[in-house]
Amino acid sequence: MKFAVIVFPGSNCDRDMYHAAKDVLKADADLVWYENSNLENYDGVLLPGGFSYGDYLRSGAVASTSNVMQQIKAHAEKGKPILGVCNGFQILLEAGLLPGAMLRNKNLAFMCHQEPLVVANNQTQFTTGYEKGEIVRFPIAHGEGNYFCDEQTLADLKANDQIVFTYENNPNGSVADIAGITNKQSNVLGMMPHPERAVEELLGSDDGLRLFQSVVKNWRESYAVNR
């Protein structure tokens, strides 16, 4: 499986994401500069965290209008896995690939620490390596991670089982304790906590490794069936 790690001006977690995919997961991965991107030969797309375009306008707003997003949308329509973490999640929201929006944290402060999460849905291609209801620990590092949506959208997320991770102790005010959601087809996952920073025990947790392993395992099984 080959991953594209998209790099925007202001990305600062791209090397972490690349390390998780290439060095720890032992998958094929490339750092792909957004302007020179050709995603045709990639099986999955990873949108890392950071401050794309300095978070001008709104976090992720400028990056969401870049040409590479059209290719990412095409990948999503084909059912290929797309993972957006932190700023990557914000970009997916701004691009309309996921519903909802991000607000400032309820305490109006940047937060950076490990956070316990609940695996709310272990039936996506990102989460089959977990048990439903399992508590995992991923770091958070954001100032605008307060997920918001209207009541109808929240009802739809619950009805379609699109809520994948929730906070055990909601740190930022996110509606319904939401930490990560998918699209209806469950191949696009956006989450504020950083699984790529939790792939080795040296980092304080290796709970994030199973997320990447799940993606590769499910891709291989799908590839074998569709050959």
**Under DSSP, is residue 12 helix (H, G, I), strand (E, B) or coil?**
coil
Could you give the CA distance from residue 105 to residue 195 in angstroms, rounded to a whole number? 20
Q: Give burial (CB, 10 Å; 0-12/13-18/19+) of 176.
A: middle
**pLDDT averaged over every residue in the chain:** 95
Position 45 scores a pLDDT of 98
Position 226 scores a pLDDT of 63
Domain locations in the chain?
A: 2-226
Position 57 scores a pLDDT of 81
pLDDT, one tens digit per residue, over 78-116 is 999 999 999 999 999 999 999 999 999 999 999 999 999
Position 223 scores a pLDDT of 66
Position 56 scores a pLDDT of 81
Position 37 scores a pLDDT of 75
**143 — pLDDT class (breaks 50, 70, 90):** very high
Q: Give burial (CB, 10 Å; 0-12/13-18/19+) of 45.
A: buried
Domain 2-226: CATH superfamily, name plus number: Class I glutamine amidotransferase (GATase) domain (3.40.50.880)
**139 — pLDDT class (breaks 50, 70, 90):** very high
Could you give the CA distance from residue 102 to residue 175 in angstroms, rounded to a whole number? 10
Active site residues: 86, 194, 196
Model-level pTM greater than 0.85? yes
pLDDT, one tens digit per residue, over 16-67 is 999 999 999 999 999 999 997 789 999 999 999 999 999 888 899 999 999 9
| pLDDT above 60: residue 227 | no
